[in-house]
Structure 1
């Protein structure tokens, strides 16, 4: 009598194909079609940029379809919905401010997926219900949480004034976690920089200044504990600088907006960085300047004075670029005039990963 042994083989479930690519193509085709038929107003790329949160929603749907995790996929879809509401001007609170406050919800979602898994239809149902609860909480916090949570603590006012102390040129380094930076001329003759800062609770400003061989180096940064009480929309830094002293200006900004007015300043070099938010730069009217301005996600706007020869190099990702019809574009370079090719007054590199670059002439 022969012995027959049966060896159990693990079941291999065929993985469902990804829907992300097809959904992306369908969405892109729909937007392009609506734009071609003049049903959707505005430039095609600007329309696409406003709808970019659909990528997060599509990624979440793809995760649900492939069974790669229900809670995490729902959380990703919730983030996409929040960004979409902000782009449609339905949500007044900055979504980036929301992400900084409540990003641990993303980790919680994916952690719950690892615990619950997809062992049965019941666990899948539980995961979906938990995901819906987290998404509902995210939307509720986006609409109601930041205002109510932040109202318990007032913003802090901080004022400073830094004399030149014999410096005949200077470098300014401004480092901010979040808020709005407004830099413009207006400091007194013997003052390098002065400012009025509105700081978040538990945030402290640390200005530092040294003079070496007639060159002043001024640093301004903060030590900010980011929490639910952080109100980046109200954290305004109003900085006024000396317009006579030759300057190098460097800003490092994480979340929020920058307005940098260089029109009457004596600026030799700039290096502006913005991670999330918008940046508006007024270029100098009577200075030979070089430098760069970069942003990861947002809008980068540059205003060129009339009659200034500017050479602007643009490096883009998912980015729309607009400039005056009198300007000349050749590849990655945009010139304000023919003479700007060989001997520009301003040589500036503009980098934008996701968003738009807007170049305009001063009124």
Structure 2
């Protein structure tokens, strides 16, 4: 009985070569972002090509090679002509400015949601506005300014009709001329409930001169750098990061309760030297490093993978101003310094 002869298809080696060619052409500027965006719309065609290789490619190396060469050539051709046929995503980068006057505001709730782009927040100087934003963005944004004494301000990006491929391309291929950034300024004279949400992009929040009564930060992919204020009253901070590192700076004399979660990426908390601090931390993969002055008062000390425990500074229970940090991490280390 004769055994069936199976040939190793040349399809996948040729596909890898094709991926390298596409990447090289993109880096050289031969393929534009619009052309690359067409590739993400061709994924059904890619499935069809893989199916053809599974059906016929293993019958003959020559046939598998022809399928691979034909697939790479067809995809590159469609990427070149696709933008002229209207197949590319809307990659127009727009610029806009938004303002909300302070008026008689005694307090404000401010929500900023950026789907794609870096977010920077600072305190306004020499301005009668409660809110100012200069942004470069894709898709559409919606701005709301409601209320008088108790204000509500919202600036949110809508990308439902914008293929996410451009958000990926913007960061992979680093189109510096089309940098997507949100520069937000807030009044230091009005107490704020502040919420910052980012999808893809970093968040750099310089809040030390602001009056923050409550802070929520939700970051999808990108680093988070937050400098917190010192308020007369204790306040709450909630920070969640999907993928990316985080550094949180806490000034002298601060009293707060901070809860942070991280999926992938290291986290650092910079606390004052003489502060009364309690840390309740856990990591799935990664260690926890605290200053020598911190005493472990709970948790495990012999975890094989990850770490969890509770640490306190001396005299924490009797301190008037307390910093309470709760951290839950997936992959990445936790450092308190």
Go from structure 1 to structure 2 and tell me whether the alpha carbon gap of 1:309 and 1:336 turns closer, same or farther (over 3 Å shift).
farther
Task: Count the aligned residue pairs.
Answer: 273
Conservation of the 8 A alpha-carbon contact between 1:160 and 1:194:
yes
Aligned to 1:235: 180
User: C-alpha distance in 1, partners of 2:14/2:211?
Assistant: 51
Query: Which of 197, 201, 219 matches 2:154?
Result: 219
1:164 aligns with 2:102: yes
Go from structure 1 to structure 2 and tell me whether the alpha carbon gap of 1:71 and 1:318 turns closer, same or farther (over 3 Å shift).
same
User: C-alpha distance in 2, partners of 1:326/1:291?
Assistant: 25
Conservation of the 8 A alpha-carbon contact between 1:262 and 1:281:
yes
1:285 aligns with 2:253: no
User: C-alpha distance in 2, partners of 1:272/1:157?
Assistant: 24
Aligned to 1:186: 124
Residue deviations 1:311-354 (CA, integer Å, cap 9, x gap): 65554555445555357476656768445678765555556555
User: C-alpha distance in 2, partners of 1:114/1:305?
Assistant: 59
1:325 aligns with 2:291: yes
Conservation of the 8 A alpha-carbon contact between 1:297 and 1:353:
no
User: C-alpha distance in 1, partners of 2:71/2:329?
Assistant: 33
CA positional deviation for 1:223? 3.6
SS of match in other structure, 1:265 = coil
User: C-alpha distance in 2, partners of 1:264/1:336?
Assistant: 28
Go from structure 1 to structure 2 and tell me whether the alpha carbon gap of 1:326 and 1:172 turns closer, same or farther (over 3 Å shift).
farther
1:267 aligns with 2:231: no
User: C-alpha distance in 1, partners of 2:66/2:50?
Assistant: 10
Query: Which of 39, 48, 55 matches 1:118?
Result: 55
User: C-alpha distance in 2, partners of 1:178/1:104?
Assistant: 19
User: C-alpha distance in 2, partners of 1:182/1:358?
Assistant: 24
CA positional deviation for 1:173? 0.7
SS of match in other structure, 1:103 = helix
- The structure richer in helix per residue is 1
Go from structure 1 to structure 2 and tell me whether the alpha carbon gap of 1:302 and 1:103 turns closer, same or farther (over 3 Å shift).
farther
Aligned to 1:54: none
SS of match in other structure, 1:117 = helix
1:302 aligns with 2:268: no
Aligned to 1:51: none
**TM-score, with normalisation over the residues of structure 2?**
0.60
CA positional deviation for 1:275? 1.2
Go from structure 1 to structure 2 and tell me whether the alpha carbon gap of 1:112 and 1:315 turns closer, same or farther (over 3 Å shift).
same
Go from structure 1 to structure 2 and tell me whether the alpha carbon gap of 1:290 and 1:226 turns closer, same or farther (over 3 Å shift).
same
Go from structure 1 to structure 2 and tell me whether the alpha carbon gap of 1:229 and 1:317 turns closer, same or farther (over 3 Å shift).
closer
SS of match in other structure, 2:97 = strand
SS of match in other structure, 1:263 = coil
Residue deviations 1:258-288 (CA, integer Å, cap 9, x gap): 1011212211222211111111111223352
Go from structure 1 to structure 2 and tell me whether the alpha carbon gap of 1:295 and 1:314 turns closer, same or farther (over 3 Å shift).
closer
Conservation of the 8 A alpha-carbon contact between 2:237 and 2:257:
no
- The structure richer in strand per residue is 2
SS of match in other structure, 1:286 = coil
Query: Which of 35, 40, 43 matches 1:103?
Result: 40
User: C-alpha distance in 2, partners of 1:326/1:156?
Assistant: 50
Query: Which of 197, 203, 210 matches 2:146?
Result: 210
The runs of 5 or more residues in structure 2 that have no matched partner are 269-288, 300-306
